[in-house]
Amino acid sequence: MMKAYVHEMRSGGVSITQVNPKLIETMTGTGYGWEDAQIELEITKYTNPPAPEVGKPEAQVRPYIEALAHGGVTEGRAYSLINDHGHVAECLSCHLVDISELPEDRTNRNSWHWDRKTGRITLP
């Protein structure tokens, strides 16, 4: 099943991040088999990127990269690491949903909201 994170934003709307199933497969499987030098290089890409990007804290990046390098994490942990790594600024809460639960009509996507009572996206 394809999954996505629905990020409830401070603005009242939502941001959708589809989870790449290959990332889950890699993290729950044997990983990429990276050596220590490659792991450190991958971490540096996120913690010290070229300007104008702003780096992420190593504590946020390292568990994600280690899971990609070595695999062996549970599916739940993999989803958690992906969400933590790709944390959306201004996000109030994050909800992992099946892609089939997202509205098919994307016409008014800018007006989608997260309904806390139903745990679903509401449409205008």
pLDDT tens digits for 45-87? Answer: 999 987 777 788 899 899 999 999 999 999 999 999 998 888 7
Decide the pairing of beta strands 120-122 and 91-98. Answer: unpaired
Please name the amino acid found at residue 9: M
Q: What is the model's pLDDT at position 33?
A: 98
Q: What is the model's pLDDT at position 47?
A: 92
- Structural tokens at position 113: 């909201």
- Structural tokens at position 21: 């199933």
Q: What is the model's pLDDT at position 42?
A: 94
pLDDT reading at 102 higher than 80: yes
Q: What is the model's pLDDT at position 76?
A: 94
- Average pLDDT of the chain to the nearest whole number: 90
Distance CA(63)–CA(42), nearest Å, equals 12
Distance CA(83)–CA(79), nearest Å, equals 6
Q: What is the model's pLDDT at position 20?
A: 93
- Of residues 35 and 116, which shows the higher confidence score? 35
What's the pTM value of the predicted model, to 2 decimals? Answer: 0.82
